[in-house]
Amino acid sequence: MPGPDEEAHAPASDRVRVRRGAIRAEYDRAAILEVLDAGLIAHVGVVTDSGPIVLPMAYGRSDDWLYLHGSAANAALRAAAGRDVCVTVTIVDGIVVGRSPFHNSMNYRGVVVRGTARSVDDRTEHVEALRLVSDHVVATWETGRAPTELEIRKTMVIAVPLVEMSAKIRTGDPIDEPEDLEGPHWGGHVPIRSVWEPAVPALDLHDGVEVPPAIRSLDGRLV
């Protein structure tokens, strides 16, 4: 019988169990959501009549749902509604250089969410989901011009349950062969540092419009 600690760290389903590098698996809900909150875009996999397609999409989340949005004419989004999808969010933190290229790797934080996508048709949830996606990276919903009815209707939203999911996190050094440690080859890692640069006003922005505080506060912050 698994102890309480093992139970808390088991995947919700077998299809989101991390198989390769299982030592880096993370099934703790808070840790998974932390990676989702830090990511910028998701890569969404859908099966179409012409094979699998993987497209980058903006996303947002509530406590229970991951939301994706797009044009109501978006074929991949329409194909996803009611079907199994895989939503993958990956943040690359750097490269790992082993003594042998065989042990090269990357440092990263990644989440995989699998589940059946649901078309969001309820008006209140639809608008709230648009806000969550809009505000995921930086909160612009409140300071922007409110969306019109037409804009809302033109935007399709699908929801994936935050249930079947797992994270995989790698940090630090390569794991080299013991017999290579005394050899002449270098091992280590090279971090990537991503920061927000100053906001660039649109060429057609008229004078006297202030940069919203949420956007101004990004300047120099780590992405």
In the region spanning residues 41 to 70, those forming contacts with a second copy, defined by CB under 8 A, are 41, 43-48, 50-56, 58, 70
Q: Tell me the number of residues near a second copy by CB under 8 A.
A: 98
Subset of residues 139 to 158 that bind a second copy, contact rule: CB under 8 A: 140-141, 143-148, 151, 154-155
**Binding of a second copy by 124 (CB under 8 A):** no
Min CB(128)–a second copy separation in Å: 13
Secondary structure of residue 58 in the 3-state scheme? coil
120 near a second copy (CB under 8 A): no
Is 130 a binding residue for a second copy by CB under 8 A? The answer is: yes
CB of 118 to a second copy, least distance (A): 15
Sequence-distant (6+) residues with CB within 8 A of 153 are 72
* Residue whose CB is less far from a second copy, 33 or 55: 55
CA distances from 26 to 32, 33, 51, 138, 212 (A): 7, 11, 30, 26, 36
Report how far residue 175's alpha carbon sits from residue 188's, in angstroms, rounded to the nearest whole number. 10
3 vs 51 by CB, closer to a second copy: 51
Consecutive H or E run containing 71: strand 65-71
CB of 182 to a second copy, least distance (A): 6
Residue 194 interacting with a second copy (CB under 8 A):
yes
Task: Compare residues 28 and 142 and give the one whose CB is closer to a second copy.
Answer: 142
Give the Cα separation of 133 and 59 in Å (integer). Answer: 5
| Cα angle: 90, vertex 61, 196; to 5 degrees | 55
Q: How far is the CB of 176 from a second copy (least distance, A)?
A: 8
Which DSSP string do the residues of 11-38 spell out, in sequence order?
A: -SSGGG---TTGGGEE--HHHHHHHHHH
Nearer to a second copy, 84 or 125 (CB): 84
Residue 27 or 136: which CB sits closer to a second copy?
136
